[in-house]
Amino acid sequence: MKAAIMQPYFFPYIGYFQLINYVDKFVVYDNIKYTKKSWINRNRFYINGKDEMFSLPLKKDSDYLDVVDRRLSDTFEKEAQKLLRKLESAYRKAPNYQDGISIFKQCILFESKNLFDFILNSIKTIVNYLDIDTEIIISSSLNSSRDLKCQDRVIDICQEVKATEYVNPFSGMDLYEKSSFFDSDIKLCFIKLNDIEYSQNPKFDFIGFLSIIDVIMWNDKKQVKKFLNEFSIYEA
């Protein structure tokens, strides 16, 4: 049984959803510290031939709080409307605009101000749209000890969900030791997104690794689902 464990990200790139689709159980960390430099509450869209960063504004609070304890700013409703208008303008001529903007509205207008709940809703919305049936588990619902760090915590979670194989993004190859997983009877593998290119604005060069919303805007659902299988698996 394959499992993956990731931080929550707001509209991440398609590789995140390839990973969800590939495994049987996908654990999302909620009881993990929020870090300012992470991609948890930000990503990139395609606007006028360039990539532009967008972010969810957060209420000022301690840097030591977990993601589940952070909240969106008091002015978020206004910021959400601004972001929605920007996306409407940027993608209005995209071939799958109606699906894309409907999904975006459903997520950006979600009522909860809790950062984790807000992001989890967006992840589940995309998962449902793409007909992915992987079981999604919230880390705080497990008995895994928070005193365990990095690799040890991953192995502990894998054992609790009865995973026989742990799959991580290719970029994290240096974070894990095969022997530690082997000693726990867990196979260690890495998933790498293949080169995916699709038609954006023909006036400009293609820009990859953008938010999943960009992929949905420019491609119909059938094509996006095909992209979910455009990856390679490497065994440690």
Average pLDDT, the chain: 96
Q: Residue 182's pLDDT is what? A: 96
Of residues 3, 9, 28, 35, the one with CA closest to residue 191: 3
Q: Is 42 exposed, middle or buried (0-12, 13-18, 19+ CB in 10 A)?
A: middle
Report the number of distinct structural domains present in the chain. 1
Average pLDDT over every residue of 209-232: 98
Q: Which structure tokens are listed for 85?
A: 């208008």
In this predicted model, what pLDDT tens digit does every residue of 168-203 receive, in sequence order? 999 988 899 999 999 999 999 999 999 999 999 888
pLDDT for the residue numbered 203: 86
Rg (CA), the chain: 18
Confidence band of 64 (pLDDT split at 50, 70, 90): confident
CB 27 within 8 A of CB 157: yes
Q: CA quadruple 129, 90, 13, 145: dihedral positive or negative?
A: negative
Residue numbers of the domain that contains 113: 2-235
State residue 53's pLDDT score: 95
pLDDT at site 62: 86
- Copy the structure tokens of residue 206: 């293609």
Cα(178)–Cα(159) distance, integer angstroms? 15
For residue 63, what pLDDT is reported? 80
**Residue 37: per-residue pLDDT:** 81
Q: What's the longest Cα–Cα distance across the chain?
A: 53
